[in-house]
Amino acid sequence: MTVLTADLYDERGDELQSVPLQFQTIGGRARFSGPIRTVTCFEDNALLKSILSTPGDGAVLVIDGGGSLKSALMGDLIADLAVANGWSGAIINGAVRDRVAIGALDLGVKALGSNPRKSSKTGSGTADTVVEFAGVTFTPGRTVYCDEDGILVER
């Protein structure tokens, strides 16, 4: 991503939604963008692991974990899968673990925080549906833009 979110918002204004939650930049790539893919999963990462195991083609996986910080939805092994399969990044409305290892990867990762506890693995959740959190709608196929200032989403 070459355009900064502040400049992009100045240029496009209300064509974009600005995410008010203060996500932490965790991945080794602070600036990333791409078409949105989505998964909704609560304290269970089996579905998101299966999605990140497929070709990402530069997409960003938006993961709605309900804002839970009780267990991590992504660790270094799942982040490695995302890199190997060509994903641009992930936005996690929840927690990660293995922060140092994820920070060394060429992957954009934004999350609410971290917790060393692993999540369950039942495979519950939904994929590629419209997701909403923090008053922002994430529609599969629309573009999301992330940098050190925050997250912008096409309406």
77 is in an annotated binding site: yes
Beta bridge partners of 108: 89
78 is in an annotated binding site: yes
Q: Cα separations (Å) of 113 from 71, 91, 109?
A: 10, 11, 11
Task: Give dist(CA 59, CA 91) in Å, integer.
Answer: 11
| Maximum alpha-carbon separation in the chain | 43
Binding-site residue numbers are 75-78, 97-98
Binding-site residue numbers for Mg(2+) are 98
Binding-site residue numbers for substrate are 75-78, 97
